[in-house]
Chain A
Amino acid sequence: MKNATPTSFGDSALRLDLPRMRKLQQEDYKNRDRRIYRSLLERDATELPVVKSEPADAPGVDRRSFMKMMGGSVALAGLAACTKQPKELIVPYVKAPEEIIPGKPLFFATSYMFGGFGQGVLVESHMGRPTKIEGHAPHPASAGGTDVFAQASVLDLYDPDRSQSSRKNNIPKDIGSFQNELTAALNKLPGGAGLRILLPNSSSPTEKRLAEKITAAYPEARLHVFDPVGSDNEYAGTQLAFGKPMQVVPRLDQADVILSLDSDVLGWGNARARYARDFAARRRLTADAERNRVYAIESTFSQTGANADHRLPVRAARVHSLARAVAAALGLGIDSPDLSEKETAFVSALVADLKAAGSKALVLVGEGQSPEVHALGHAINHFLGALGQTVDLIEPVLNGPLNATEDFQDLVRDMHNGEVKVLMMMGVNPVYAAPITLRFADALARVPFTAHLSQHMDETSQLCLWHLSMTHYLETWADMAAYDGTLSIAQPLIAPLYKSHSILEVLSMIAGEEQTAFELIQDTWKARTGLGNDEDGFRRFWRSALHDGILQNTASRAWRGIPLRPQALPAEFNEQGSDFGLEVVFQPDPRVWDGQFANNPWMQELPAPVSTLTWDTVVAMSPNTARKYRIRLTNEEVQKRTSVRPTVQIIEVNLRNRIIQGPVLVIPGYPDDTVTVTLGGGREIGTVAKGVGFNAAGLRSVANRWFEQGATVRILKRTTELALTQDHFPLQADGRAIIRQATMAQYNAAPDFAKQMGHEFDRRYTLYPDWDYTKGNQWGMVIDLNTCIGCNACMVACQAENNIPTVGKSEVMNSRHMNWIRVDRYFEETEEGDTRLHVMPMACVHCENAPCETVCPVGATMHSNDGLNMMVYNRCVGTRYCSNNCPYKVRRFNFYKYTDHETESIKLQRNPNVTVRSRGVMEKCTYCVQRINNARIDAKVQNRPLKDGDVITACQSACPAGAITFGDINDKNSRVARLRAHPLNHTILESLNTRARTSYLGKVRNPNPVLEPGALTPLQFAHGPGGHQAHDEEGVHVHRQEQPATPHSSH
């Protein structure tokens, strides 16, 4: 660990020794002259009344009153300044810590555990402050990219709402007393009977070791796992199919044909970032790999579904029937249920493709589906020979128990029965997240000694006797395994900001050892490597493990040739029909997950991938379902002109007497007769989280964790507004050629279709000579719309890198969100009546002919020699004319003082190389100019020209799919220049002669011609190849006719 050593004053005698002074004062007081007194009370007092200094998070002193008090003291300090100050010495770094250069970040490899699975990350550290998370290429779960969660995780470290000390009954109390009380409580339990420990999912070998240690010390104690999401169905499915629980590791880059059965592998998978990279490898048309074809049968609108070539939205309960139908049609010897005409067509086309792909096919089943469906998926993969080809089965990565939910139910039952005497909960929040049917809070009240380790004084902490403050992952040592079993040791980036402890440390406390996390991890690895006695060897191992952020070659070996059990293909099958009533599907939220990111403003303000919803959770449903339940569509008020912003209705969903109330969001493309609710809303604590959305746990049961039929809906009189970053506007004009797409056949016939769909400005018509951009580095970006999955990781990365403030719900509702890069979403209604979704990351495109620059009256936005459109914040007076004149509307304005200048902890996260913007200033994407300049300086120091790959922008670095390429377009061998030369390359709104530096690679779909007959018809263009006319009436028309499926935001 390489923290900056804090400046030390060296001589301890010079320190302000408050306790000693207080003691002296007290002594004086005791020996005072008691003949003179103000009151009797004072005369008889033996002790000097001391104003108790309250801890920073003591109740009663909120931030405001603190600021008021401070304001007073500062004013008085001003008066005091009139007197001469005593001489004080400050000491600079005489010997600077090695490697620390102010302004130059250091990068450390570590690992981030999410849902129990490790993800390697590189952490950028400025003067000892971790500020930004980057992907870690050598780590298999990252492969260089990150997911949104890893990006956002750094902000949690600085969350001002974090718990800062341990508390008993909500009163700060030191951890020593806790240990004493715990020891006393444990001593009363013979063999630990009644001691229960509740942990989150984890793959940590040290945790496993400690668990074993605890069970050795307390044989009657039990460890449970609580995870509102988890992998139960995956393990149960492999158990059913193969007789033992196993981890499924899909190899998306190996699969020619993918069938996703309600599996959001790109949004929900254990290694989202890696899966996105593998997926992209088969979508990229600029490489040699063959294009894959993806079918999605799903009960919601997932990221995976949005990226599928064919998508069949059905109720969650129907997925099982379709899985059986696929198995039956493949000839696995089971009967097919009855299918509708559309389903039959879909399944038969799909089955033909699966058969043709054989071992290169891949069936994925989502965690939301039952073990039976998982088993069917394995059976199909087994039948096609895909096991070992496109999917591997390995030893479970998680420590277990693997039937976590069942096991957790046991715990709650025991709690209800009063069998649990000591309950230690760590890093979980069951009071908030446990399905309501368990009545967890009631059960908790029956446990005499409860303690909760967490980063916040959260819902569970409030109901426990003891609350212990938990470290952030960047503050502690850990070890973990990735989705494929690869092990890594995580090092801390900063000493704990508060008096916090990690799970490992508390486990060690229970085991009666009280070791630090560092010692615990080292012990584990000394034992594992067998280098316990070889000090040098171990040091070498340790150094390389930390440096690399990964233990090489520790990925689990895949099981080969496991026989399929007949139980995977039961003959008996009854589908829950739609006559059971409305179905409710539960999903982890794509932004706040199970609620753990609910207090993270970046995540709350991040638009959800399909709905663009921020700051809320909703009941999402299809337009048909809405009509069936007489729920209005969102845009009604705007259309009726009674309101400028759409309001939505609030409904009450009643699922077998479990009731929630929430706003409805109607989204095209959702299946009918089912609604989707996401977890993570309705938190009761946290300045950010509190009151956002509703808690879906209130509707969940343990038996049907992911979907359940039989809900009723009641429309309430209340309405609400949702903060959507892109409203559902009825679109009236078309042919804008924003998303340019074609099928594979059309692409092969006209590889430059994307260029032809636009109207290139004829440069002969311009009066001014062109600026010379042929010299020096000229920066440009290419975004591949084939590989972009719309995960929004770039948005969070940009926010972290560029100190972009969050603005809050009401400001987002008024389109004032500040994200420099956004992911535009377009719905498309196809000829077949399906809904397709297109995404397009959009940031400043750095026009060579920038409309913003000419209209700024003060010259606050200018062009640099290397082709950057720059913002000079200091010069900006805020006329906002540049934003009006920007056709891409990528400029964001500080309408208020959005940046938090008050909260101390948040300041630590800021990137010191990026200006923090004040009120009244325009801002926008800079192509990460600070990174360009860093690279330029480095190159200059090394006396060499900049080379391709020296500059990686924050969005590019985060993108798990590698969809963003940045570099010097003058360097003909750079990746960006090569992509710009690709026939698919095009800019948008090129008819405006903006000459954007960011270009896109046109989107090519790979539909099955059987399902989409139009896929083979070549595109027709109004003007022949090469003949571009600026304004072509015909062009618009023909384009519209030939492409009735042109994207438009619906409905």
Chain B
Amino acid sequence: MSSEVKRDPDGQLPYISGHTLTSVSDKISEVTLRPMKNLPLIWYGGLALGVTLLQLLFLAIYMLVTRGTGIWGLNVPVAWGFAIINFVWWIGIGHAGTLISAILFLFKQDWRTSISRFAEAMTLFAVVCAGLFPLLHVGRPWLVYWLFPYPNTLGMWPQFRSPLLWDVFAVSTYATVSIMFWFTGLVPDLATMRAKAKDVWAKKLYHGLSLGWTGSARHWHRYEIAYLLLAGLSTPLVLSVHSIVSLDFAVSLEPGWHTTIFPPYFVAGAIFAGFAMVLTFMIPVRSIFGMKDLLTDRHLNNMAKVMLFSGLIVAYGYMMELFFGWYSASVFERFMVLNRLTGPYDVSYWMLIVCNVLVPQALWSYKVRTNPVLLFIICQFISVGMWLERFVIVVISLHRDFLDSSWAMYAGTKWDWAMYIGTMGLFLTLVFLFIRTLPFIAIFEMRELIHKDEHHHDDHSDEKH
């Protein structure tokens, strides 16, 4: 092996460089197993920030449950606000993980390997954050279990025609399958951790979690089949969850909601936002823990391409919304479009266009795609833009609908923001705990990659000789 960076036969940068099977294991598990005092300060900072904001979430939930949804800015034309916006935003963010793990796995995209674990974890955490909102935004949160079909003495079922009920099934299925998928993928690595852990408690923990994995051929065989099946199971979910979430809107009568384009447009938006969020964490983490050799610029490049593509679908969606407004020949639809473009919330609409349509066009450039700083900044635009997209859909549609007598304005209150920022705290807390306690890159898959890589290289040398 030469010291210079190897390139693929097609001249691309490699997904992993300068690693042996052992070095990969050591490097990744070291983050988890190193003594607390050796952790970078920024990890402590990140966790501290997360936990602090988490307290804000607890306070916000306390206020909400004791006082009522009135502490939010909701009113009667705008009966959904931040909670639903944040729900859809978080669910969208939670799409990248499964997409990367399942779909790219099925398509045999090897580059997914080093990001899949992290992305999957983020999916789970995002779904946790998302799940809080629909449960808490109802007027009587203590009765929210009525949304689940459970046997009860009243003989009451939920109302199956409601998209909100479909949501309950879609999101809970998604969360369940994602956890299974994520955990299954973790088992071989947990065994590695078990082997490497020195601390008694860590050893016990990993021992328990690794479910008696021995690394036998039979285990590997079973594992491969299980993982493939779960990948197959997850794949339709990636498409279904956000499609169903979009039906919350599409099934209604509201101008701006009642449109057939929503399912694909929401899925694309979810992938767009999900990749942006993965990159938002990936870029700093690979610097902090010195993982640039495992999370290479080529990964950035590939992810940026996915963002560009999904971003274009989203932009198409925006265009179509405008087109439908005109083509429907309905005064209400037409007014809705005009109100988005020129109404009192026009700033949020145009900011959305800037964030989600104009700024991502920079990704056409290879230099931008492989520049972590620029990419990070673009990801922030996309995250803001995707939040604004949901604001535009939820609030601007509702605040002026059919009868102008009911029109009103909406603004989030401090508690709306507290809840939103609080869930970010929850997310940060979970992410930083995850980085510390579990290998955030799939060790065995990376080893597999090195194996493949070497094998592949050997083939080439054979040919040359």
Given known A855-B252, A858-B146, contact A894–B331 (CB-CB < 8 A): no
Residue of B nearest to A988 (CB): B403
- Does residue B67 face the partner (Cβ distance < 8 Å to A)? yes
Of the listed stretches B110-118, B162-170, B197-205, B373-381, chain A binds: B162-170
Q: Are A822 and B405 in contact (CB under 8 A)?
A: yes
Distance (whole angstroms) from the CB of A857 to the closest CB of chain B: 4
Q: Are A733 and B334 in contact (CB under 8 A)?
A: yes
Given known A919-B68, A1031-B330, contact A884–B254 (CB-CB < 8 A): yes
A641 to B344 alpha-carbon distance, docked (Å)? 6
Partner of A887, one of B70, B156, B159, B401: B401
Q: Mark A814-847, 1 if CB is under 8 A from B, else 0.
A: 1110000010111000000000000010100000
Q: Are B331 and A920 in contact (CB under 8 A)?
A: no
- Does residue A168 face the partner (Cβ distance < 8 Å to B)? no
B70 partner residues in chain A, CB cutoff 8 A? 811, 816, 895-896
Partner of A893, one of B139, B157, B334, B409: B139
Partner of A895, one of B68, B159, B343: B68
- Does residue B408 face the partner (Cβ distance < 8 Å to A)? yes
- Does residue A975 face the partner (Cβ distance < 8 Å to B)? no
Of the listed stretches B76-84, B179-187, B301-309, chain A binds: B76-84
Q: Are B405 and A842 in contact (CB under 8 A)?
A: yes
- Does residue A144 face the partner (Cβ distance < 8 Å to B)? no
- Does residue B432 face the partner (Cβ distance < 8 Å to A)? no
Partner of A736, one of B329, B339, B404: B404
Q: Are B144 and A877 in contact (CB under 8 A)?
A: yes
Partner of A889, one of B73, B157, B332, B406: B406
Residue of B nearest to A1047 (CB): B404
- Does residue A190 face the partner (Cβ distance < 8 Å to B)? no
A892 partner residues in chain B, CB cutoff 8 A? 76
Binding site secondary structure of chain B: loop
Distance (whole angstroms) from the CB of A862 to the closest CB of chain B: 9
Q: Are B408 and A877 in contact (CB under 8 A)?
A: no
Given known A815-B408, A920-B68, A989-B402, contact A885–B252 (CB-CB < 8 A): yes
Of the listed stretches A130-138, A587-595, A723-731, chain B binds: A723-731
Q: Mark B408-419, 1 if CB is under 8 A from A, else 0.
A: 111100000000
User: Chain B: interface residue count, which band?
Assistant: 35 or more
A734 partner residues in chain B, CB cutoff 8 A? 331
Q: Mark A475-499, 1 if CB is under 8 A from B, else 0.
A: 0000000000000000000000000
Q: Are A735 and B159 in contact (CB under 8 A)?
A: no
Partner of A732, one of B157, B335, B408: B335
Distance (whole angstroms) from the CB of B323 to the closest CB of chain A: 15
- Does residue B75 face the partner (Cβ distance < 8 Å to A)? yes
Partner of A1033, one of B156, B329, B411: B329
Q: Are B409 and A879 in contact (CB under 8 A)?
A: no
Distance (whole angstroms) from the CB of B411 to the closest CB of chain A: 4
Partner of A894, one of B77, B139, B158, B342: B139
Q: Are B163 and A855 in contact (CB under 8 A)?
A: yes
- Does residue A1036 face the partner (Cβ distance < 8 Å to B)? yes
Q: Are A855 and B162 in contact (CB under 8 A)?
A: yes
Partner of B140, one of A824, A855, A920: A920
- Does residue B358 face the partner (Cβ distance < 8 Å to A)? no
B138 partner residues in chain A, CB cutoff 8 A? 877-880, 920
Q: Are B164 and A815 in contact (CB under 8 A)?
A: no
Q: Are A921 and B79 in contact (CB under 8 A)?
A: no
Partner of A727, one of B68, B156, B407: B407
Distance (whole angstroms) from the CB of B35 to the closest CB of chain A: 49
- Does residue A883 face the partner (Cβ distance < 8 Å to B)? yes
- Does residue B251 face the partner (Cβ distance < 8 Å to A)? yes
- Does residue B143 face the partner (Cβ distance < 8 Å to A)? yes
Given known A854-B161, A877-B144, contact A893–B79 (CB-CB < 8 A): yes
Q: Are A731 and B253 in contact (CB under 8 A)?
A: no
- Does residue B129 face the partner (Cβ distance < 8 Å to A)? no
Partner of B342, one of A732, A875, A879: A732
Please provide the chain A residues from 456 to 481 with a CB less than 8 Å away from any CB of chain B in the complex.
none
- Does residue A856 face the partner (Cβ distance < 8 Å to B)? yes
B164 partner residues in chain A, CB cutoff 8 A? 855, 857, 879, 881
Q: Are B403 and A738 in contact (CB under 8 A)?
A: yes
- Does residue A888 face the partner (Cβ distance < 8 Å to B)? yes
Please provide the chain A residues from 905 to 941 with a CB less than 8 Å away from any CB of chain B in the complex.
918-922
Given known A814-B75, A824-B405, A855-B163, contact A638–B139 (CB-CB < 8 A): no
- Does residue B328 face the partner (Cβ distance < 8 Å to A)? yes
Residue of A nearest to B67 (CB): A896
Q: Are A884 and B398 in contact (CB under 8 A)?
A: yes
Distance (whole angstroms) from the CB of A607 to the closest CB of chain B: 11
Q: Can you identify 18 A-B contacts, CB atoms within 8 angstroms?
A: A639-B344, A644-B409, A731-B404, A733-B332, A814-B73, A815-B75, A825-B405, A840-B405, A854-B162, A855-B252, A857-B165, A859-B156, A884-B79, A884-B398, A885-B253, A888-B403, A895-B139, A921-B139
The 7 closest A-B pairs by CB, nearest first: A878-B139, A920-B139, A733-B335, A895-B70, A824-B405, A880-B79, A644-B409
Q: List 11 additional contacts besides A733-B332, A880-B139; criterion CB under 8 Å.
A: A644-B344, A644-B411, A729-B407, A732-B342, A733-B334, A816-B76, A855-B252, A884-B80, A896-B67, A988-B403, A1031-B328
